[in-house]
Structure formats: structure tokens, C-alpha cells
Amino acid sequence: MENPIIKKSPSSKLEETLINTFPRICTDCGKLTNKQFLLTNPVLQNTTLSEFIKNANTSYILAKLTIEEFYEGELYLIFTVKEAITIGSLLLTLEDAIIRENADKGIFEGDCTDAFKEFANQVCGMLDNELRPKLPKPIHLKLTSTVLMNKENANTVLSEEILNEERLILTATMQILGFDDGKFILSISKLVGEEFFCEIIAEDTKKFRGTILVVDDSNTDLRIIRKLLGDEYKVLVTDNPNSALSRLQKDHIDLVLIDVHMPGISGITLCERFRRNAMSNAIPIIICSSSPTQENVIQAIRAGAEDFLVKPFTRQKLIEKINKHLINRNVLLNS
């Protein structure tokens, strides 16, 4: 079986990892369909599902894969109805001529629907097996639904939040021997995709207002902060206080948010270490806590923190605090 043809060097660790699942998918899907199955010419784009659907002139079958264990979110497999009919019919071992006729008529029902769902479940398992050893934290994928989606019903199939959030959409040419080329599409939330390898996947033209390093042992809080700030700031996160100083050697940091209560090293101790390090002693630090005490606040200021922030905080409050200190350092770009 041929390997996928890659048009360009992957721009991120996530893109590289997803593309590296293609050989397994091609081999196993070839066995399922009893046809040569190839995925070629992958292209990663940053968009929303709302924009994706608006620009489409066809209906899709969307298979929702729930991401579980350490990571949380959803990954979508997306096929046109014609492609879903073709794949489902191949699993039913129908003759090629009948498959083409059914696909042209758009007949997607009964056994064909069940067969495609089984195909999506098998691909889910392939992705799960391929991603699990490659990601730094535990992951599990589970197929939870397959549903018809088009411009008319998109708002009922998906929530407004999911439709309008930034997503990474990886599209590859899908070649099944004896049939017209189609598309194999994977869609994942940009925030979740970036979380896989703690990387920022940004458009070349996008300008951030500054770079924020967030140190917090709560992955839920890290996700919330990235979601609150990600549109305007480059947000780097770590749940390991010991790795925080090493991030300074890799990235330019304009401001640090540190949680006060963390196992091993407290936020106060980490703040003191930042202040003793020549590379970080001038970087503004904001200490955060969901259960602050007067002693915490005093210790934070003595350790060198510029500010203290109580969780949970609103986006407006968080940005006000950050902007205040970035402006003081003449870091903030003109808005």
C-alpha cells in the first residue's frame, strides 16, 4: 500500500501526528471495504464549522467522536452523503454498479446507514490506537453519534458555541479504487488540538497582543483561561511548575499567571524563583487563587507578584488585569 503524499511539511506537531495516522487508516479501511483505499494531499485549515458549512453546496454525514480521559472535547469525521453511501454500501458488499446508482440517487437509509456507522466506529478505533501512544497524556475516543448535517439543520445538529468556535479542519483526498475521488475530513477544536502538544497553531498573519504563560495544576482552569484569552493573546500553558522556567528559554513571555496552590511547588515559591532568575525577574506576575487568604496576598506581593486575582474571574476582569501590567511595560500592541 502506498504512503500518503504530503504536499508540504506539517506546520505543527498535531498536523504531523494526524497525518501519521493515515497509513494505518488506509490499510485497515482497505480491508473493511475490500478496495484499495488511499488518503493523499492533506491540507490543514483554521476556520469554523459555521463557515465550512456555509461554503459547502452539499449535505454531510457527521460522525461525532467524544474525546475522553485527560483531554476533553469532540473530534468529527465528516463525509458527503454520496461518500457515506459509497462506503456503507461497500461494507454491505454490494456490486459497484449498484453502489454508484445508490450514491447518485442519495439513498442513505436502512442497512447502508448502519454499515456506515460501523465504518465510522472502526475509524474511531484506528485513530484511538494511533493517537494513544503518540500523545503525552492519556486519550480515549468513543463514537457517540452519526447525523446528517447541512445548511438548513446545522443549528439543531450542533450548538452555536461549537459552530462558531475556531476549529482545525484537516482535509485529504480520499481515493477508493473504482470510484470518484472524495474527501476525508477531520475536525477538532483549535483549543483541544493545541492542548495535545501544548503548542500554538496560529495563522501566519495573526497578531497577538502579547504572550501569556499560565502555570496551574488544574487542567480545567488552564482550558478556561485559554478560551478566555486565546482570541487576543498567545497563551502558553503548563500544569507542571517545574517546567515553567524552562519555557522562558523556548518562548518570549510578556506576563505570567500562576495558581497559588499547586503540589510540589507553590505559586508563591515559583514566583520567588522567577524573581531570582535573570531571564524572568522583570516579567509581570499575577498570582491566582480560588480560596485566597490575606496571608496568601501578602506572601504573593512579598514574593514579587504585581497583582492577585481571585477565581473564578470574568474575561473582562482578567483582561483588565493583564492589560494594566502589559501597558505599564509598554508591551501591549495598539488595539
- Residue-level pLDDT at 291: 87
- CATH assignment of the domain containing 144: 3.40.1550.10
Q: Within a domain: residue 67?
A: yes
Looking at 144, 163, 196, the residue that finishes a domain is 196
Q: Within a domain: residue 1?
A: no
Beta bridge partners, 233, equal none
Instruction: Based on the fold, state whether residues 149 and 236 are members of the same structural domain.
Output: no
pLDDT band at residue 333 using 50, 70 and 90 as cut-offs:
very low
Instruction: Based on the fold, state whether residues 158 and 288 are members of the same structural domain.
Output: no
Torsion over CA: 312, 315, 320, 322 (sign): positive
Distance of alpha carbon 5 from alpha carbon 43, whole angstroms: 11
Does residue 88 contact residue 112 with C-beta atoms inside 8 Å?
Answer: yes
Identify the domain containing residue 259 by its residue range: 207-328
Q: What is the pLDDT of residues 294-331, one digit of tens each?
A: 998 999 999 999 999 999 999 999 999 999 998 877 66
Q: Within a domain: residue 85?
A: yes
Beta bridge partners, 182, equal 174
Instruction: Based on the fold, state whether residues 190 and 273 are members of the same structural domain.
Output: no
In order, the DSSP letters of 92-141 are TT--HHHHHHHHHHT---HHHHHHHHHHHHHHHHHHHHHHTTTSSS-EEE
Looking at 196, 218, 241, the residue that finishes a domain is 196
Looking at 196, 216, 241, the residue that finishes a domain is 196
Distance of alpha carbon 274 from alpha carbon 272, whole angstroms: 5
* One-letter identity of residue 195: E
Nearest alpha-carbon partner for 88 in 109, 59, 65? 109
Is residue 82 packed enough to be buried (19+ CB in 10 Å), middle (13-18) or exposed (0-12)? buried
Q: How many domains does the chain have?
A: 2
Instruction: Based on the fold, state whether residues 163 and 242 are members of the same structural domain.
Output: no
Average pLDDT score, the chain? 90
Number of residues in the chain: 335
Q: What is the pLDDT of residues 146-202, one digit of tens each?
A: 999 999 999 999 999 999 999 999 999 999 999 999 999 999 999 899 999 888 887
Torsion over CA: 263, 265, 268, 274 (sign): negative
pLDDT band at residue 243 using 50, 70 and 90 as cut-offs:
confident
Cα dist from 65 to 73, 147, 161, 222, whole Å: 9, 12, 17, 23
Beta bridge partners, 78, equal 62, 185
Strand runs labelled E in the chain: 37-47, 60-69, 73-80, 139-149, 167-176, 182-189, 211-215, 234-238, 255-259, 285-289, 307-310
